[in-house]
Amino acid sequence: MDPINFVILASILFAIGAAAVLLRRNAIIAFMGVELMLNAANLALVAFSRMHGEIDGQIMAFFVLTVAAAEVVVGLGIIIAVFRARQTISLDEPAELKG
């Protein structure tokens, strides 16, 4: 299978992730969209790594996974704090900061 297909797939995944951020009101789902975008990048990295016939890209994917994990921790922490304060995780609700 041509690795370029994986790149295309990665792009589609990236777009889906972005769409999730744009469309979903639920903070967790939106956040998952971001994670999907990161993983799309991972897929692209791995695919390119394969195309170039070296492992740099794959190593990088590990870095990204680690960082993404840290991001999840922080992100969920914030979302939980918001939930505790407001009893909701709708992204549209906290909109006092504007203008």
Partner 1 sequence: MSFTTPEIAWAPLTPLLIVLGASAVAILVESFVRSPETRRRTQLVLSLVALVGAAGAAVVQWATLDGAGTVVLDGMLTVDRQSLAWQVLILVFGTLGTLLFASRTRAGEEAFTPLGASAPGSSDETLARRKGLQVTEVFPLALVAVGGMMLFTSVTDLIFLFVALEVFSLPLYVLVALARRRRFLSHEGALKYFLLGAFSSAILLFGAAFLYGATGSTSYAGVAAGISSSTGTDALILAGAVMVVVGLLFKIGAVPFHSWTPDAYQGAPTPVTAFMGAATKAAATAALLRVMYAALYGLNWELSWLFWVVAIASMLLGTVVALVQTELKRMLAYSSIAHAGFILVAFAGLPDTALSALPFYLASYGLATMGAFAVITQVRERSDEGTVLGEATRLGQWAGLGKRSPWLAGAMALFLLSFAGIPLTAGFVGKFVAFSAAISSGAWPLVLVAVIASAAAAFFYVRLIVLMFLTDVPEGQEDAIEIDYSPLARTVVAVTAVLVLLLGIVPGPVLSAFENAGVLLLGAGG
Partner 2 sequence: MLDLTWLLIAVPLASAAFLLLAGKRADRWGHWVGVGASSAAFVVGLVALIQMLGLDSEDRAHAVHLFTWIPGGELNLDAGLLVDPLSMTFVMLVTFVGTLIHVYSVAYMEHDASRRRFFAYLNLFVAAMLLLVLADSYLLLFVGWEGVGLASYLLIGFWNHKPEYATAANKAFVVNRIGDIGLILAMGLMFTYFGALDFGSVFAAVPQASTAQLTAIGLMLLVAACGKSAQFPLQSWLGDAMAGPTPVSALIHAATMVTAGVYLIVRSAPIFEGAPAAQTTVAAIGAFTLILGALIGMAKDDIKKALAASTMSQIGYMMLAAGLGPVGYAFAIFHLVTHGFFKAGMFLGAGSVMHGMNDQVDMRRFGALRTAMVTTWVTFGLGWLAILGVPPFSGFWSKDKIIEAAFIGDDVQPWILGGAALIGAGLTAFYMSRLFFMTFHGKARWTDEQHPHESPALMTVPMIILAVGSAFLGLILATGDRFVTWLEPVTGHAEHGEPVLPAAVIMVATLLLVALGAWIAWRKYGAADVPETAPAASLATIAARNDMFQDSVNRGVFERPGTHLTRTLVYADAALVDGAVDATAHAFARTGEVTRKTQNGQVRSYALTMVVGLVIVILVVVQGGL
Q: Residues interacting with partner 1, by CB under 8 A?
A: 7, 10, 14, 17-18, 21, 27, 30-31, 34, 37-38, 40-41, 44-45, 47-48, 51-52, 54, 56-57, 60, 63-64, 67, 70-71, 74-75, 77-82, 84-86, 91, 94-99
To partner 2, the closest distance from the beta carbon of 19 in angstroms equals 9
Q: Which helix (H) or strand (E) holds 95?
A: none
Alpha carbon dihedral 94, 21, 33, 24, in 10-degree steps, equals 70
Strands (E), the chain: none
x/- map, 10-49, partner 2, by CB under 8 A: --------x--xxx-x----x-------------------
Both tokens of 77, joined, read 């922490």
Q: Alpha-carbon dihedral of residues 14, 19, 20, 21, nearest 10 degrees?
A: 90
Largest interatomic CA distance in the chain: 51
**Directed axis angle between helix 3-23 and helix 27-52, to 10°?**
170
84 binds, among partner 2, partner 1, none (CB under 5 to 8 A by kind): partner 1
Judged by CB under 8 A, which stretch of 50-58, 63-71, 79-87, 91-99 contacts partner 2? 91-99
**Closest CB to partner 2 among residues 77, 94:** 94
